Structure 1
Amino acid sequence: MGTGFAARWLPDGEGVVIAGGDHFRVRAATGRVDTILLPEGLTADFQGFDVDPAGDRLAFASLEQARGTLSLLSLRSGQVESILRDTVPLFSPTWSTDGESISVLRAEAPRSALLVIEADNSETRTLRGGMEPFEKTPHLSRSRDGTFAYVRSDGYSNLWVASRPSAADTLVTIRQLTFGTLNKGFFNSSLGQAKQFSVSPDGRRAAFVARTVSGNDLFSISIDGGEETRVTFTGDVHSGPVWAPDGRTMAYVTVRNGLLHVASVDLRSSLVKVDVATRPSPWGLMAWAPGDLLAYTEDRAGSFDVRLGDPRVPDGWRTLANTSPLIPWLAYSESGGLLTLAAGRRVVVFDTAGSVQDSVHVPLLDPRVVRLSNQGTLAVSGEGAAILGQTSPGGRFTTEVRLPWRSAICEEVPRSGGLTFLCSVQEGGRDAWLIRNSQNGNRP
């Protein structure tokens, strides 16, 4: 019978429909096989298809140059009618039990949607908006009472703590700090990796970004474990966060009306301030020095400016340095007098006036600055989450500790004795989701 991308039974159980790329094959119980070729530009593959309750028509989704098309195919005549052409991918068309409408997943970042299209093309409506974006092909199913179920294959992340009690120890102990199948502290997108967590100045708590029903918000948790505490309730947190040196305020990147801005939240009052004059880069790379100076990166037509100022004072920003088109990573020294900026294979050390104090080549592509001590010891992380140390200037790199993750972002936890790191580790998994009461359009 050949190979295919997917198969569906006919409603009467007397045959099977198989998607074959540029055609559909209908194999009857008698052994007869009919092949229906599709018009140029339409495909029958991983986007999905479904047979209507009468067994007369197929609804199938096609993808060409990242644009989705929903079409109907008559199994009797072989005629094809495209009823929806979209600018984003469409997945898993599913017929209603009465055969009068088709539901389809519209995969658009940052929020996806579930659409309902009348089979006669008289109306298209959004049944459920604000859904999580689909990183990979989702699969949609609809019950007789109108409940939808779908599975998302997605990457997710959680926070882990790794520690080595003393320099004499060769083993690193690790323990998981947060759990679940949502992104916590890390995410991958077409824009790259965004840092979405930080350690409090006293080393006792971690702040991180996690998905909620309303969007993304800030949470905090004790480094020793326990319950998570929600910090913001706005649903518009994009990336960051970073603690103020006194531990009373967090700065982060927020998205308002489609634009990114630097925001801060007072941890005692939950009061949020947004500086609409700022345009931070989407990676949320910020560093807060002892005192009031916050450094963040701003995307300037493909290159990055490092901006410096007090987020609680409007229009208090100045440009400190300009970097290459490669994504920079920022960190302050313990005293706050020096700022490190990593991009490519080089780490540059500035003072707060913008003067270059040192430039160090590191044996890592895209190094991430973890620490710059007052003594000039620099630590960076990179491939395989290895933490490397180098005494600046002119010192040699030595591997201090190698962590057991291939995809992680780490930050040192300030604790006495040994080394302790908080790492957001990218994992993978599948989530099953339900959308109930869909017949009347109510949200679950």
Structure 2
Amino acid sequence: MQQPTYPFVTPSTCSRRHVMAALGLAGAVGLATPAWAQFRVQISGVGATQIPIAIGAFRDEQRGPQPVSAIVRADLERSGLFRSLDASADRLDEVSRPPLPDWKTKGADALLAGSVSPLADGRFDVRYRLWDVLKARDLSGQSLVVPAADLRLAAHRIADDIYEKLTGDKGVFATRIAYVSKAGRRYTLLVADADGENAQSALTSQQPIISPAWAPDGKRLAYVSFQNGKAEVISQDVSTGKRRLLASFKGSNSAPAWSPDGRQLVVTLSRDGVSQLYLISADGEGAPRRLTSSSSIDTEAAFSPDGSLVYFVSDRGGGPQVYKVPVGGGSVQRVTFSGAYNISPNISPDGKWLTYISQVSGAFRVHLMDLSSGDARPLTDTRDDERPSFAPNGKLIIYATRQQGRDVLVTTSLDGRIKAVLATSQSDVRQPVWGPFNK
């Protein structure tokens, strides 16, 4: 994977990291996901603190197309905060009265059991119960009635409930990611579960695309299409495929970033010569408002969570660095100072952290900065990382990289201890972006 150079270039000469795939006609065909396939997630590292949870196989789950308990287990382990113990031998379900003191002796802090019952109309009734072993009491439990196609989503929601009950933070297992893949000359924008499974084709084309970006409502994706022979910013409804042209000005139109309220976007336009940041309406109406004015290239914008600031990349200091500017206008301030090449900024949902790509001894690695102190550190030891994106709870970061000669999507905890390679059936994947919480 080759990192972009400045200035950015056209699709025929573009670097592999900035121009990935084109989105032409909306694809109606989803990618088939093998049943019981979640075991392709590879987890490495050990968290500083892990909650031991015993998980039993859900009663009758083999009668459905998805192994609900195994998906829940994989979700929790991938977060880096849980260590699972197998409780399947006890044949528990949600109405059991398990001997909690025995499980305390076995080292469990919590215990999960449930059932999956097929209904006459083809749906499934998924029930579960979570016990607090240490306090010897029921902690949570409910019934989810879902069609067969939503059994994985039900498992993710169960994992989210467990995560929140045991950590106090919202889980992100039922959220979605988007990324771009390339197979031969075909480019595809994919929307998948947060673990990489259940990938569905949103768009396919023979042309490239730049920078998919989720709208705050989780219903739309903005991206840059070259379908009409030039870079144009498009917004697309993920469920219907309906597209809206947002920016097709003279020159290049690229790098869309949504405002937190979803009403506007920051884009990079070269309509006045050099690439600069502009604010445009999310409905594509009205004239763009210029946000930066320099003789350098300003691009790769990212809003702060409160919408007051825009972080971006500029080479105004001689090489690409991260800067910030008030949305209402004002002085530009430099943010990154360590390293000569820093790109692809993304801000955590709580506004405390900045993740970005920094070149270190020729390697491009994911970094994390504490915005209050300016302290930064690498989270990876790979060489070809790109486009880090925070999970909506701010506890994980997704990025693309190369491992063992293939392109992969990886999540990492903020301390860099836990990394999980996500399940993708495509060999050429990149430009991931994590979607918001489901509305």
> Could you tell me the TM-score, scaled by structure 2's length?
0.47
Tell me which protein shows more strand as a share of its residues.
1
Which structure has the greater CA radius of gyration? 1
Tell me which protein shows more helix as a share of its residues.
2
Structure with more relative contact order (C-alpha pairs < 8 Å, separation 6 or more): 2
> Could you tell me the TM-score, scaled by structure 1's length?
0.46
